Each structure stands twice: as structure tokens, then as C-alpha cells.
Structure 1
Amino acid sequence: MKGSMRKMLCMGLTALSMGVMMPGAVSAEKAAITMPQKMANGETVEVYYRKGLPLTAARARAAELKRETMVLKAGSIRREGSKPLTCDILFEKDVPVTLRDGTVIYTDIFRPVDDKQHPAIMAWSPYGKEIGGQWLDDVPGRAGVPQAATSGLEKFEAPDPAYWVAQGYVIINPDSRGAYHSEGNLNYWGSQNSKDGYDTIEWAAKQPWSNGKIGMSGNSWLTVSQWFIAGEQPPHLAAIAPWEGFVDHFRETANRGGIPNPVFPEGIFETFASKNYIEDQPRMVVTHTLLDAYWQDKIAKLQNIHIPAYVVASFTNPVHTHGTFAGFRQIPSKDKWLRVHNTNEWADYYLPEHVEDLRKFFDHYLKGVANDWEKTPRVRLSVLDPGHKDVVDRVEQEFPLARTQYKKLYLTSQKTLAGAKEAQEQIISYDTQAKQPAVNFVLTFDKDTELTGYMNLHTYVEADGSDDMELQVTVQKLDKDGKVITDPVTHMPTFSEGYLRVSQRALDTHKSTPAEPVLKHTREDLLKKGEIVPVDIGIWPMGMKYHAGEKLQLTIAAYQPPKADSVPPFGIAKIAVPAKGYTFRPGEKTAMKTLGGGHTEVAHPELAVKAPATRNKGKHIIHVGGKYDSYLLVPVVPEK
């Protein structure tokens, strides 16, 4: 990079203690820089970059760069305890792909051992195309995915080559730009990453083993990549299978409700390995707190997606729930399907019956198999019922459900939710510095009721002692005794949330509906002393069954930043794989190497971005009754 193309970042102790770096001074190691970057709208933005893990870090679990081709034999295994291969696989390691700007990235390719042409499925991410910095073994209980469920050839969150090659597919596992040995700087989605995915798909379609039809699969980051890359309309991308992933990075994860949250991005950043620089998105979160050109570039072009899509969502993912439903609803494809599960993204993705279901989808659109896939119900819905039995795969025609009846539950001074508002104006308040700075409102159901869809809290608020408020709103189910019901698998409560920095309360009236407020995020309107303002706080979609006597609890609380340990300890698991040859026969004595390191192994801990202090001070006052039309709008679903 030329000197004119970057500014060094100040390493002062004050800036570091705030978790924010200021441009101007030079780091001795040049561990952090800014670079001008052109966004999709043509505007140039100075984007922060910094160094991530070196490839030598144990936590990175990096593979050496070595181009080679080998046949992985049927019956061999990648790891002790993993599923044996059911067929021979031609494995091409570190195949170079040259992108339109001359940058070379590297991809692994798994394909049938023949000279025929096959469809391919690409899994796009920077996590490492072999083991890499994130792996299911890092997650408690492997998130319910037995090691024997897959071969271990898969990259994290991606399709298992052992299964798909046996079904006549090619699996393409790239390390995206800047990841591991791939050239360039590592980017988070956006226009650059999308174009790189486009180029790789078009490269793959020209290979002699390709039938010209490429699909995409995988969950989380790999799903977000699908929304973005498909939005660029690569001619040979024939179908996608987004399995839980957001579409609007600002609104759905980084600055949800306008509140900067760098904790999750920072935890993920610390698992990335690169020879070059990595986009310092955690720092962009805390320095670009409005929906500017940078964040506009992080919104997928859903309006451009006309190809078939098999979309999988859940109601319980704190990062992906809203975006997955939004993606399904907003893409104009006439061939789209939605399945809503009741477990977690990883367990659902690798469940054998769901793998078979996905194969039927890809067989139809990538192979042209007449298998009646198009007769699959357009929506298969789960409805959660903690304490009882969930509804799974209920056939519906659309989402949200057309038969939904929206009902207003009014907030009362008695801290209940009622069918009518109080005649007199009342106030409810809490001290933001209290041990539990929150207020609960409860409704007891007099009959069995299903609430499935979007919720909106419309209320009037006032700040006593501050010019802003940061609110966290939660809706959850309680049993007949008013106790939280935990999930029998995760032992965690099931709930849906909404967030708001009140200064960013302005609505985009063209996109908002009564049940789904959409915020502009283009300005801040700070509060004046004694000012009472109406706010709409969208609560992510939920499908929940309440039985007579059970309760719905609405909690309005002062926002508390999440703790750093909310991100799994990625990179810590020790993974033993063959030192040479990639797979081996079960029971065979072979030289092994162990990959994995310490969770605390961070490239530059002094540059870690911490959650900024909240704007909450003094008291939060909620106005109800009389002229204050404060209510929770809920989606009541009558039985068919």
C-alpha cells in the first residue's frame, strides 16, 4: 500500500482504554491502519484494518500451502471417531483462483474420481478451508452434532464432501480474500467480497469437471455470503440454500437498534488468520454509529435474487433470526422455500433427514432431476412450546401467516398487559444504576393461544438525568407459577428481543408496518430535559404456544452490553489429523499432528475493541394510560 492510501492509528493509552483508535499516529508494528475503500454507492470511506492471528498461531489451526492432488480412499477416515468415506474422492488441495483484480485465492476441491461433468456446491467463508480457527469441537457438546455424523472433511458450517461427492457433486471450499494463504486483505461481506464470490463461481463453471451449475450452501457466515454473492447475480449460480444468516449487518447485528455492539464481531475477529490485514469491523461498529455508506455496503441486494432458494430459519438465533426471515420474504424468486426448525443451526444442518432434503433440492435445480421437489410445501413451520411439545414442520403457505390477527396489549401502572388502556395517565420508572434496572409487565392467558410472527412495542419514554436512553426489550413465556421455562436441551430460557438507542428512534415510514418498525439510523435526536417521546421497538419474530394459565412477560430494561464470554471459545479444541495423506484407515498407525491453541491467544490484545459505555444514566420513565397509547402489538394466530 502507498503511504497516501493509509493513515496510521494512534496507540495512545486513552484511546485504547476506550476501545477506540484515533487516526494520526504510527504503530511501531503497523498492526493497525486505515485504507480508503469505495463503497457500492461510489462513496469512498476510510476503513479500519488490523492484523489478526499469524498463520503460525496454534489457535489458527492453519494448514500449509501445498498444491497437490490425491485420491482419498473409500473406508478411510479423517479423524478417529469420524464417519468413514463411502466412496473414493479426488482431492485437489490449494487450487489457485485469480480474481478480476489479479488477487489469487486458494480453494480445496473434492470431486468424484471420474471424467464426467458434475454440479458443484461452494462454501464461502474465511474460517479456514480445512480445520481453521472455528470448529464444532470448540462448542460445548459440539452443539448436538455427533462427531460420527460427518467425515471431518467439511470446513466449519459447510457441507460434508464425503456425503456430497458420493451423490455426484463437487465441493468447492475457498479461503476467501485475505484468509490464511489467500492474497489480499480480509473483508467482511460487502461489495468486494460479493464480487470475489462471483468471480470464483464463474471460474468454477469453466472447469472441465463442471456441468455449469453451481450452488451455495452452509450456515451463519456462509449463509450471509450467499445473500451477498447471489445479489451480484453470477450467471452460473443456479441455486442457494441459506441456513440462518443476516442480510443487514448494521440493523441486525453490529448496531441493532442503533446501539453499538462490537463484542460478537470482536470475538469472531480474534479467530481469523491472515498474512495481511483484516477489516477491523469491531472498530467500525463503534466509530460509524449511523447507517452511512459503509453500512449500506453491508446490506445484501436481495432484490436481485431470482434463483431458487431453500431457506432455513429459527426463532432462537440471537444473530440470524430476523435476517433469515427477511431474506426469504424479500427475494423475488418464484422458487423459494422456508423451513423453520426448533433446535440450533448446526444440529439442524447436519441432521441426516435434512441433508437428504437439501440433496433433493439441489438434485432438482443443479442436476435437473424430476423428483417433484416443487411439490414441497412452501413453508414448513415450527412453533415452540417450552414445557410441552413443540410443533414441527407444520405446513403453511407464507410467512408471516396471512390469518394473523394483531392484538394490542396495553401496558398498565399495575405492571400488567391488558386489553384496554387505563383512563388516567400514569408513569412507571426504574433507576438505570440499580442491580436489575428493568420493569416487567405480565399477561396471564385465559385460553390456549399461539403467537407467531413479529411484535412491536409502542410506548412513550422519558430520560431523567440523561439526553439519551438505550433500551433492551424481552418477551418470554412463564409457567403458571410465573417461573421461566427453560429449554430441555440447552437449559436456557427461550425469548425474543428488541433494542433501541432512543436518539435513533426516527422511523423509515416507507418500510415500516405496524408490526415491523424499521429505523432510519441516519441521525440522532437527543432528548431534552422533561421531553416525552414515542418509540417503536421491533421485536424479532417468534413462534410460541401459550397454554391457559401460562404467562407472557414483557421486560423493558436498561441495555447492558454482552460479556466477552458470550462468544464460544473458538480455536481451543485440540484436533488430531494425519501429518500426511489427509485420511487413513481406521486402526492404522499413522503419524498425526495436533491442531489447536489457547482461547486467550490473540494477535494484538491491546487493539481489542470493547463495548462502549452505555448512555443510560439516572431514571428511565415509561408513560402509560390516558393520552399515552403504550402497548405491545402481538400476532395472534387462530387455528386453521
Structure 2
Amino acid sequence: MDYKDNYKPLGAITTVDESDDRYIAHINEEFEVGDGDRIRLNVFLPRSGGPKFPVLMTATPYGKDVYVVLVSLTSFAADLPETMKSNHLSWEAPAPSWWCPHGYAVVIMDHRGSGASSGASRPFSTQNWDDYAKAIEWAADQPWSIGKIGLTGISYLALNQWPTAARQPRGLACMVPWEGLGDYYREGGRHGGIYHSFMDVWYLRQIMRNHYGNRNRSNGNWGPTSPEGKLGDSELEELHQRFPKFLLENEWIDDEWYKDHMVGENYSSIQVPLLSAGNWGGIGLHLRGNVLGYMRASSQYKFLRIHTGRHDLPYYFEPYITYQKSFLDCFLKGDDYDGWKTGKQAPVAFAVRRGTQSPGSMQGELEFKFRDEKEWPLARTNYEKHYLTANKMLSKEKPSHQRKSITDTRIDTFTNFRCSGEGIQFITPVAEEEYEVTGHGHVRLAVSLTDHKGESEPDLDVYVALRKINAQGNESSYSSSLGSPTPVVFGWLRASHRTIDPNPYPDSFHLPVPVPSHKRSDKKEVRNGEVYDLQIELWPTNVVVEKGEHLVLEISPKDPAGVDLFVCHDLIDRDERKLCGMNNIHIGKDYESYVVLPIV
């Protein structure tokens, strides 16, 4: 029997919950989309004002009814301000307990096949974006809506805003993507062509909170049973994709599977006011998307803000919640008391990372002062080359001799699922005066592979990290978006993916770093003994190097320390037969091996 056979008439499952004195909750409002599937939404309305309100909207794959305060992620809930907590707070979504008393209706939608919405789950796909666009138009037409919709939310609830806004749905008035990637291949699925193993963790999390994916569970802690009842294993297998499998099978961006998965979107068609909030510590996920999304959008009013610390906390805390509200008040209520339209608000503002951060706490979030800027990248940027030298230094002068530095990447054993083989470090001179690195850098290396045994088609993976060492000789760590210590910035590249695309995006904006094409049609062979030119993009970054401090460029055959869960170490993707051998870094007058630092 098909799950659709259990449908009740549209609207029959909607219930009203008035248990919270800060809002009225309409649970499981619904409308129909293609193939007869139904999108379910929770609508939270203010108890005063109205009868029509501006609408804050978000769409989730995790289950709108999995209330994290009561069920899971208790550390997340414990860290939130009391005003944000309620029985209806969803993971990474706006808090109705805070926004409704400020005069906003809040709508939280389950993506198709997730939570209470029926159908097949298709994360990161056009199905999600098309459904979301229809939901925006549905919300604009409701009797409690003034017809103006603002999108908001963290992570997946942010990344889904980019392609949805590009569809220009009727009623969409503005958007606040809070730490959300924009290019699924380069920022989420594969880093430099290397499979991003975090997707295994993400998929497990998505299934754990997906009510349809857990219909065979009787434990109510996973959220209420979906309206059509429980599904058996065979139905679940039919309805839900297995993400790691698809990602492993589709290494190249022009593979058929990616045509439906957030790699060819034209973000220049985004025209609504935009507040893109990134995180300097989001260097394994999201940050690049926030910066490039801001750069690519055609919006007249667009703003980039980059904070630090754990990715969930700033969204709910002062001063970040206040500037979100002032932005939304301007573009949804017409009240521009903070000057978003008049130029009072800088187009770009970011935390300047001077010193060391206390990872994972709100104290750490606020340790760095913000600075306003007029543009991104900063017009005054000087892109400095620092060459690798034979004595493992970084010099502004190109070496006049020729030499080869070797780092062993022979894969003999696995430790914690990581390939063996140590990297090599190159350091800048100790700073005699302070300087700042802000923007987009890249690493260029002349490399070769030797001693490959030929058991499989050879390849070579390169991971790079930029670290800061303080005057006492200790590394200055910063908070990753998960709250753990991380270095300044990362980069990745698989040698067979080394072809650079002069125009990687359809909107043709300028990015001051080389971007690999990652097309199967541009695949390059890797052979024993041949020297290849690798250009490795570093993600956007900021750090102040004070007097007595220096930077370290680490080049490694595996995940560097500080990647947290954002790892690239899958045993299938990084097959030891493919990657065994010696990686050689060539330096000297005949080779281009250097790091480009954006100095301001």
C-alpha cells in the first residue's frame, strides 16, 4: 500500500497549540506539490497585533518537530538564552519564542521526505529548492501574512536560501543565510576533488532526525510519527537516497548526478536584499559559500558579516540577533532605523582575529572587534608571493638554486582512518612589525609522484594548512564552527583535478584565486616521475600577525590537525593502491612553489 493511500483531506491534520504564552502554534499546515506529495509546515503567530504579519521562514531536512530543547543536543539547548527556548524550537531555525513577540510570524517547513512532509528525500537537490519556492508563495498568500517573506536559518537552513532565492519566488523580500555553503561540490561534497567524509556524519544526522527515515522506530524521542504512519525498510530504501554512496560514485562535477545538486546555480539572479553571515572558523564547511554568495548576488542592498566561534551560538545571541532584527525590520517592516538603505551600515564588516581565541564559548565569540569595510575583496589588498626555500622557510625572494624536498605519503597503515605519512612545514620570518592577512590566498606547488607501485591508477592528494605561531612559540588556535581549535585556513587538491577553470561559475564574477574545474573532461593523468603544477585555493580568511609572531605553511598528504569533523579521509576514495608512493615538492629557480598571501 502506498503511503499516499493514508492521506487525510488537506488541512485535516492541522492542530493548534496555545500552550506557550509568547505565540500561537499551528502544527502541520500543509499544501500539495508535484506527484501528490505534501509539504507540512509549522506556523507560529504573535499573540498581539496583526491580523497580518511579516513572515520569517525556514526549511529544514532535520524535522521541524524534533524539539532539541526536550530531546537531543542538550548542550546546544543549555547554551541558549532563555528567551530562545520553547517546546517548538527546531535545530538551526529561528526561535518563535523570540521573534513572535517582536511582531513576526515564523514558518518552519519540512523538506519533502523529511519530518512530516511526505515523499522522497532529495537533499541538496532542485526538488528542495523548487518546493521551497512554492512554500514561499504559499506563505505570501495566507490570511496571516502581509505578503513579505524573509528567509533565515543556519547551515542547511541557510544554504537552501541561495538557490531558492535565485528562483525569484513571489513574495520573497529578503534573506539571511547564516553560515550556508553555495557550491555543493566545492564546499560540501568534495574539497579539491577529495571526498569530504563529513557527508557521512551529516547524512547520519539527517536520517536520525528524519521522521520518515525513522518510521520504523517506536521511540517517540525521535519526534512524532509522521501523519501517514510508519514505513517499512523497503519503503524507506525506495524513498531515500544514500548520500555517501552517490558522492563516492560521482567524483567529477560534470557527472550526471551533479546536474541536480547545487553546482550550476546562477546566483546573479538573486536580487532581494541580502545579509550573508559567515564564520572565519567555518573553513571546512560554509564560509566560502557565504563570501562567494555575497559576491555573486546582484542585490542592490547586500551585506557581508563574518564572525567567529561556534556556528550556532551567534545566531541566537546579542549583538548578532539585534542586527538581524534591524535588517529584517528594514526590509520586511519598512523601518530603517539602522540605515541599511542609507549607507549607515557598511557593506562589509568582520571580526579581526588578533591574538588567540577561546574556542566554543560565547566569550570566545566576542573576543575580536569588528571592522567596517566598503567592499570584498578589500581594494587595498597586496597579493604577496612567499616562495618555499630549501631550508623550509618562506621568502619573498625566489630561490636561485634548484632542489627537491620530499614528504613521504606511502600508505602502509591506517590510524583513526587516516593515511600515514607526515607533512612538511615552511615558516615565514618572525614579524618585525604587525601585518594583516585578509581575503583570498592560494598555494602553488611543483610536485611529482615517485615509487608508485602501479597496482591502481596513480593519483596524489595535497592538503595545506596555514597556522600562526605566537611570540612564545605556541600555535594561536581559533574556534572552528563546531567549537574546537582550528588553524587559520585550509586548502585541498587532488592532482588529477589540477585543471583550472577560467570561468567556474555561470555569473562570471571575478575571484582572485585559481579555481579547479573538477570536470571529468578535464581530468589529468598522474605518472611516476613527472612534475606537475598544482594551484590550491585557500578559503577566505583573516588573521593579524603581530610583532614577534610568524606563519607556518603546512603541506600534508592527509588531514592536518584541527579539521575536526570536516575530514577527507574516506578509505574508498583515498584508496591506498591509488595514493601510495612518494610526494615530491620541487623548489628552486625552475619551479613555481609559493604561497600567495592577501596582505592589507
TM-score of the superposed pair, with normalisation by structure 1: 0.76
Instruction: Choose 553-562 or 219-228, whichever is displaced more.
Output: 553-562
Deviation per CA, 1:603-623, whole angstroms, max 9, x where unpaired?
Answer: xxxxx9976535421111001
Identify the match of residue 243 of structure 2 among 273, 281, 301. 281
Aligned to 1:597: none
Query: After the TM superposition, which of the residue ranges 519-528 and 540-549 deviates more from structure 2?
Result: 519-528
Q: Please tell me the residue identity of whatever aligns with 1:516.
A: V
| Structure 2 counterpart of 1:42 | none
User: In structure 2, do the counterparts of structure 1 residues 181 and 396 end up closer, same or farther at CA, with 3 Å as the change threshold?
Assistant: same
Alignment of 1:425-444 (within 5 A): 425-433=402-410, 436-443=421-428, 444=430
Hey, what does 1:314 align to over in structure 2? 279
Of residues 350, 373, 377, the one that matches 2:316 is: 350
Q: In the superposition, relative to structure 1, how do residues 563 and 617 fare at CA in structure 2: closer, same or farther (>3 Å)?
A: farther
Pairs within 5 Å for 1:330-345: 330-345=296-311
- Contact preservation (8 Å) 1:134, 1:156: no
1:173 to 108, 111, 115: 108
Distance 1:173 1:151, change over 3 A: same
Q: Which residue of structure 2 lines up, in the alignment, with residue 461 of structure 1? A: 447
Could you tell me which residue of structure 2 aligns to residue 516 of structure 1? 513
Among candidates 199, 202, 216, match of residue 134 of structure 2: 199
Select which of 343, 346, 371 maps to 1:377. 346
Tell me the alpha carbon deviations over residues 498-550 of structure 1, each in whole angstroms, 9 at most, x when there is no partner. 00110010000234978411111113212122110111000111100001221
Change over 3 Å in CA distance of 1:486–1:426 after alignment to 2: same
Q: Is the 8 A contact 2:57 2:151 kept in 1?
A: yes
2:436, 2:543 within 8 Å by CA — same for their partners in 1? yes
Write the letter of the residue equivalent to 1:103.
Answer: D
1:250 is matched with which residue?
Answer: 185
Aligned to 1:532: 531
Q: Offset at 1:557?
A: 0.4
In 1, distance between residues paired with 2:462 and 2:558?
5
Which has the higher mean CA deviation after the structures are superposed, 292-301 or 425-434? Answer: 292-301
Q: 2:380 aligns with which of 381, 403, 411?
A: 403
CA distance in 1, matches of 2:367, 2:479: 11
Deviation at 1:180, TM superposition (A): 2.4
**Bigger shift: residues 348-357 or 244-253:** 348-357
2:463–2:558 contact (8 Å) kept in structure 1 = yes
Superposed CA offset, 1:439-497 (max 9, x none): 00001222111000111101100011332101110001012243212348956143210
Q: 1:223 to 1:239 in 2, by over 3 A?
A: same
Q: Percent identity?
A: 28
Matched residues in 2 for 1:513 and 1:208: separation?
Answer: 44
1:378–1:143: structure 2 CA closer, same or farther, 3 Å change rule?
A: farther
Query: Could you tell me how far apart the structure 1 residues matched to 2:404 and 2:314 are?
Result: 45
Structure 2 gap ranges (5+)? 3-11, 213-230, 358-365, 412-419, 453-457
CA contact (8 A) 1:127 1:134 kept: no
Tell me which residue corresponds to 2:268.
303
TM-aligned CA deviation for residue 130 of structure 1 = 2.2
Deviates more, 1:473-482 or 1:269-278: 269-278
- Separation in 1 of the partners of 2:367 and 2:450? 43
Distance 1:567 1:267, change over 3 A: farther
What is the rounded CA distance, in whole Å, between the counterparts of 1:387 and 1:172 in structure 2?
Answer: 39
1:91 aligned partner, one-letter code: A
User: In the TM superposition, what is the alpha-carbon distance from 1:156 to its structure 2 partner?
Assistant: 0.8
Tell me, yes or no, if structure 1 residue 499 matches structure 2 residue 492: yes
2:99–2:106 CA contact under 8 A, matched in 1:
yes
Query: Runs of at least 4 residues of structure 1 off by over 6 A?
Result: 133-136, 561-565
Note if 1:108 corresponds to 2:42: yes
- After superposing the two structures, state which structure 1 stretch, 616-625 or 123-132, moved more: 123-132
Cα 1:563–1:630, aligned 2, differ >3 Å: closer, same or farther? closer
The residue aligned with 1:482 is 473
C-alpha separation in 1, matches of 2:71 and 2:158: 17
Cα distance 1:518–1:134, how it changes in 2: closer, same or farther (>3 A)? farther
State the distance in 1 between where 2:111 and 2:197 align: 22
- Secondary structure of 1:211's aligned partner: strand
Q: Which residue of 2 aligns with 1:26?
A: none
CA spacing shift, 1:427–1:492, aligned 2, 3 Å:
same
* Inter-CA distance 503–349: structure 2 relative to 1 (3 Å threshold): same
Question: 1:379 offset after TM fit, Å?
Answer: 1.1
Alpha-carbon distance in structure 1 between the residues aligned to 2:564 and 2:442: 30
1:139 to partner: Cα distance = 7.0
- Structure 1 distance, partners of 2:382, 2:268, is 28
Comparing 500-509 and 519-528, the one that deviates more: 519-528
Letter in 2 for 1:327: G
Report SS of the residue matched to 1:109: strand
1:180-239 deviation line (CA, Å, top 9, x unaligned): 231111111221111100111111111111111111101100001111211111011110
Tell me if the contact between 2:443 and 2:594 (Cα under 8 Å) persists in the aligned partners.
Answer: yes
Counterpart of 2:404 in 1: which secondary structure?
strand
1:163 to 93, 98, 109: 98
* Residues 197-276 of structure 1: pairs in structure 2 closer than 5 A: 197-272=132-207, 273=210, 274=212, 275=231, 276=236
State the distance in 2 between where 1:518 and 1:418 align. 25
In the alignment, what sits opposite 1:69?
Answer: 16
What's the secondary structure of 2:322's corresponding residue? helix
Cα distance, 1:610–1:501 mapped onto 2, change above 3 Å: closer
For these two proteins, the number of residue pairs brought into alignment is 523
CA contact (8 A) 2:269 2:297 kept: yes
Aligned to 1:447: 433
Relative to structure 1, is the Cα distance of residues 107 and 613 closer, same or farther in structure 2, using a 3 angstrom cutoff? same
User: Aligned equivalents of 2:433 and 2:82: distance in 1?
Assistant: 43
SS in 1 for 2:36: coil
Which one is further off, 266-275 or 434-443? 266-275
Q: 1:190 to 1:242 in 2, by over 3 A?
A: same
The match for 1:131 is: 66
Unaligned runs of 5+ in 1: 3-64, 75-86, 569-607
The one-letter amino acid paired with 2:589 is G
Worse overlay, 489-498 or 530-539: 489-498
Q: In the superposition, relative to structure 1, how do residues 186 and 563 fare at CA in structure 2: closer, same or farther (>3 Å)?
A: farther
The alpha carbon displacement at 1:285 in A equals: 1.1
Other structure's SS at 2:529 match = coil
Contact (CA 8 Å) 1:408, 1:632: kept in 2 or not? Answer: yes
Matches of 2:446 and 2:574 in 1, distance apart? 26
